[in-house]
Amino acid sequence: MLSDTPDAVRAVRRWVAERPNADALVQVTDPDEGHDERLTYAELDRLARAVAVRLRRRYAENSRILLLYSPVRFTVGFLGCLYAGMVAVPAPLPGRQRHEQRRVHGIAADAEISAVLTETAHLADIGEFLAAGGRDGLEVLATDADLGVDPDTWTPPATDASSLGLLQYTSGSTGDPKGVLVTHGNLLANAAALRDGLAVGPDVRFGGWAPQFHDMGLMAQTLPALFYGSTCVLMEPTSFLKRPHAWLRMIDRYDIGWSPAPNFAYEYCLTRVTAEQTAGLDLSRWRYAVNGSEPVRAATMRAFAERFAAAGFAADACSPCYGLAEATVFVSGSAPRPLTTVRADVTGLAAGRLEPAAGDADARELASNGQAGTFDVRVVDPETRTVLGAGEVGEIWLRGDSVSQGYWRRQEATDAVFGAVTSDGEGGFLRTGDLGALYDGEIYVTGRRKDMMIVRGRNIYPQDVEYELRTHHVELGNVGAVFTMTTDGASDDPLVVVHEVTNPRDRGALPGLAAGMRRTVFREFGVTPAAVILVRRGAVRRTTSGKIERSATRELVRAGELAVEYADVDERWHTLVPNRELV
Amino acid sequence: MAGTDLRAWIVDRAALLLDVSPQRIATDRPLADQGLDSVSAVALIGELEDRVRRDLDPDLLYDHPAVDDLVELLDMPGRPPSHAKGA
């Protein structure tokens, strides 16, 4: 059905014609009280046409338009860009942190934007922000104000499947933003892949708090709803962070069947939602509790399912998915079914094989990410480019209609990641940078290639070491970062553990704790860390969505800028871990 | 609500979020320096909203980083007498 639709504008407008009075968007301003603003398909269409008419007065087709909105208000501006035949550039509101502001300026410069769309509430702040970055000549339009145009003068753009719809800037480093080229064809192909791969029925309503400037929030939440004539119900991410139970209440109140979130959000609900807050909650219609955009922990999903079973949550609603912006967003998942996992043998993983652990052998439980139905998938040795067999761990390579053509005006980065060719001459693959294996025909992700550590010929995954340390040492906080330092001349890269402790003032206990952690790492992974560094909570670098930034933490260690509570450093590595506060 | 009550309440909540005992929270030092990360900061603001029954900016801790700053901002009517102005 969608494969016959030539562009995203016509995909949405089909429903404008067929069900003009159905709710397209519900913007929830107070999830606790159920206060909301609704837009029908006809209303959303009229607003988007007005934005498009206004944009076309001054800007050419294919102009890049920066979108800076509160997440729930984003969609009108986004569709307005597409209706105008222009390219949407979603970005987070710049906020208060300097690195966030630098990032948005970096995106604006890289995309060579022509104008900014926002809402009245942020107009003044954005004007100041742009002026501070030397961009005060840019036009900033509030799309919730009267645009002074007649939406009925709108004519459809000359777009087709190959037309660029948006630039998706991934969470890449602040200094080097890379915009993934996403065409109308990519958007439609990916929505179809998601619906078919997870067998999403026509009555499923979408919604949640995943922000619209993020690939998951836009392309695995809002757009599938609009392309399939359903409803998308949105709340602000900060409302979720303030009151996680509000997310669950919203799912119940608005009859949401599909709501995606990263693993961290499910953990957050487990620790912060009280029994009182879940009284009377009915989660039985939540068919797709999609877990994506960061590594899925089977233990988290199982605990979540158990905890909320009393509220009617069905265990088969846990939907681990794999995806990335370079493939639009969605790659693999499965229709509702019991959580499917493999207790993978740790020794086998270190040797590059995914195989079930026998008996009491050390195991790491991996959640299946289901099948990638519409993609060609290969697992490839990243060095030799040899295609590996079932159960062998390598880099995941993908080919298909959802895969982007590359990064905006970044030929070198594009060549490194897109259009890869296997050693036997098959071409056109995207290198995901993720490591995993195909097992029973399904994708299991074992880690990120750039985070993977090779110590004494063994592959060690940092998240495994962090997890083991927390399991064995209750004194540790929830966040740690394990990485290797690169060295010249040494035969092995030394492994460094940085971990938060819950009670840094208990100084007398820290040396014993660090020594015990060394022993754990040695026992579980056969490696002695060069340094165990204990820090207080908040010291390990994380992104705003909670992802651990191992390389940023490594740079803090290298520069001697980490606030250390206690450091246990191997004598031979003292020069490598320069810390003024070493004891 | 008396300022001392609000102060003690914020200290208790911050201590819970930081997994430390309330005695360890210095009310005159930025909570971020004592280990409060950005997610926990927003969680604290959410709890404060329920307590003071006002909508608060999720970035409140940028401008009012210490417990004492928050109390001063939120508890104007009930300030301790020594801080009260006029009568």
Q: Report the 3 state secondary structure along A478-496.
A: EEEEEEECCCCCCCCCCEE
For residue A544, the tally of other CB atoms under 10 A from its CB is: 16
| Count of alpha carbons within 13 angstroms of residue A291, beta-carbon side | 26
Q: Which of the 8 DSSP states describes residue A458?
A: E
Angle between helices A123-132 and A98-111 (to 10 degrees): 80
Question: In this complex, which of A238, A243, A536 lies closest to B35 when CB atoms are compared?
Answer: A536
Fold of A2-332: Rossmann fold (3.40.50)
Q: Which of A580, A565, A366, A367 is nearest to A477 (CA)?
A: A565
- Once rounded to an integer, what is the mean pLDDT over residues B17-36? 81
Rounded CA separation A575/A435 (Å): 32
B54–chain A Cβ distance below 8 A for any pair: no
pLDDT of residue B8: 94
| Count of alpha carbons within 13 angstroms of residue A310, beta-carbon side | 9
User: CA of A163 to nearest chain B CA: how many angstroms apart?
Assistant: 38
A509: chain B residues, CB-CB within 8 Å? none
Q: Where does chain A hold its CATH 3.30.300.30 domain(s)?
A: 453-573
Q: Which of A210, A284, A224, A292 is nearest to A252 (CA)?
A: A284
First to last CA, chain B: 18
Best residue of A29, A101, A241 to probe chain B, by most B CBs closer than 10 Å: A241
Question: In this complex, which of A96, A242, A538 lies closest to B36 when CB atoms are compared?
Answer: A538
Question: In this complex, which of A242, A505, A542 lies closest to B45 when CB atoms are compared?
Answer: A242
A214 neighbors A170 (Cβ within 8 angstroms)? no
pLDDT of residue A255: 97
Q: Does an H or E element contain A74, and which?
A: helix A74-83
Write a three-state SS string for A260-324: EECHHHHHHHHHHCCHHHHCCCCCCCCCEEEECCCCCCHHHHHHHHHHCHHHCCCHHHEEECEEC
Phi/psi at A49 (nearest 5 deg)? -65, -40
Boundaries of every domain in chain B: 3-77
Phi/psi at A510 (nearest 5 deg)? -65, -45
Q: Token pair for residue A463?
A: 């998240």
* Distances, alpha carbon A333 to alpha carbons A192, A193, A356, A581, in Å: 13, 10, 21, 47
Beta strand A232-234 with A206-208 is: parallel
Q: Where does chain A hold its CATH 3.40.50.12780 domain(s)?
A: 2-332
* Distances, alpha carbon A353 to alpha carbons A329, A484, A499, in Å: 27, 22, 29
Q: Which residue blocks in A369-435 are alpha helix, DSSP H?
A: 411-417
Q: Does an H or E element contain A348, and which?
A: helix A346-350
Rounded CA separation B37/B17 (Å): 9
Beta strand A341-345 with A64-68 is: unpaired
Q: Mention the CATH class of domain A453-573.
A: alpha beta
pLDDT of residue A393: 96
Residue contact A542–B37, C-beta within 8 A: yes
B45–chain A Cβ distance below 8 A for any pair: yes
Q: Mention the CATH class of domain B3-77.
A: mainly alpha
A546–chain B Cβ distance below 8 A for any pair: yes
pLDDT of residue A454: 62
Q: Where does chain A hold its CATH 2.30.38.10 domain(s)?
A: 341-451
Task: Look up the CATH number of domain A341-451.
Answer: 2.30.38.10
Q: Token pair for residue A79?
A: 């569709």
Instruction: Classify residue A35 by burial, with Cβ atoms within 10 Å: 0-12, 13-18, 19+.
Output: exposed
Q: Which of A209, A216, A218, A217 is nearest to A243 (CA)?
A: A209
User: CA of B87 to nearest chain A CA: how many angstroms apart?
Assistant: 37
Q: Which of A519, A547, A551, A326 is nearest to A453 (CA)?
A: A551
A435 neighbors A448 (Cβ within 8 angstroms)? yes
Phi/psi at A68 (nearest 5 deg)? -125, 95
- Once rounded to an integer, what is the mean pLDDT over residues B17-43? 81
A73 neighbors A27 (Cβ within 8 angstroms)? yes
Rounded CA separation A528/A573 (Å): 12
Rounded CA separation A460/A494 (Å): 12
Which residue type does A202 have? P
A96–chain B Cβ distance below 8 A for any pair: yes
Query: Which pLDDT band, with edges at 50, 70 and 90, does B78 fall under?
Result: very low
Note down pLDDT in tens along chain A; length 583 residues.
565 788 999 999 999 999 999 999 999 988 777 799 999 999 999 999 999 999 999 999 999 999 999 988 999 999 999 999 999 999 999 876 665 787 899 999 999 999 999 999 999 999 999 999 999 889 999 999 999 999 999 999 999 999 999 999 975 444 567 899 999 999 999 999 999 999 999 999 999 999 999 899 999 999 999 999 999 999 999 999 999 999 999 999 999 999 999 888 998 899 899 999 989 999 999 999 999 877 788 989 999 999 999 999 999 999 999 999 999 999 999 999 999 999 999 889 989 999 999 988 888 899 999 999 899 999 999 989 999 999 999 999 999 999 999 999 999 889 989 999 999 999 999 999 899 999 999 999 987 666 667 665 556 778 878 888 998 899 898 899 999 886 654 545 788 999 999 888 888 999 999 989 988 887 777 677 889 999 998 889 887 767 788 888 988 888 888 889 999 987 767 777 765 444 4
Question: In this complex, which of A242, A479, A502 lies closest to B49 when CB atoms are compared?
Answer: A242
**DSSP per residue over A171-182, as a string?**
S--TTS--EEEE
pLDDT of residue A405: 95
Place of tokens 């999609």: A290
Rounded CA separation A326/A432 (Å): 8
Place of tokens 């999720």: B58
**Per-residue buried b or exposed e for A64-85, using 16+ beta carbons within 10 Å of the residue's own CB:** bbbbbbbbbbbbbbbbbbbbbb
